[in-house]
């Protein structure tokens, strides 16, 4: 009977910052996640890796909306791939 199995692995990531903001994270296999910010320093998109790493234009992405002019840094919604909000937030 085996009661304990040890597994030694090495995991590495590379984190890149541009203008003091996170711009990308790359894992040890070279898979890259790209982070986009707008002028108010709000995260507006995360680009996820796909089968064509040299063409980020077709990568899946998650978009974040900050449309409340009274609170420009408050996240108000996250749409799905069809543009329908699956997460919508409001300030109480």
Residue 3 has pLDDT above 60, yes or no: no
Rounded-to-integer distance, Cα 29 and Cα 70, Å? 43
Residue 60 has pLDDT above 60, yes or no: yes
Domain locations in the chain as residue ranges: 13-88
8 A C-beta contact, residue 88 and residue 68: no
Tokens, residue 53: 């790493």
pTM, full prediction: 0.76
Residue 89 has pLDDT above 80, yes or no: no
Residue 90 has pLDDT above 70, yes or no: no
For the beta sheet containing 13-18, the strands, ordered from the edge strand earlier in sequence to the opposite edge, are 13-18, 21-27, 32-37, 43-47, 61-63
pLDDT digits (tens, 9 = 90+) for 24-45: 999 888 889 999 999 889 999 9
């Amino acid at each position: 009977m085996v009661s304990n199995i040890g597994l030694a692995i090495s995991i590495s990531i590379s984190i890149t910052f541009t203008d003091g903001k996170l711009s990308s994270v790359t894992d040890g296999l070279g898979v890259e996640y790209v982070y986009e910010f707008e002028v108010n320093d709000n995260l507006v998109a995360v680009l996820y890796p796909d089968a064509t790493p040299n063409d980020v234009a077709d990568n899946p992405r998650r978009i974040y909306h900050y449309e409340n002019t009274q609170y420009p840094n408050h996240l108000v919604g996250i749409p799905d791939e069809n543009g329908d909000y699956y997460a919508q937030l409001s300030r109480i």
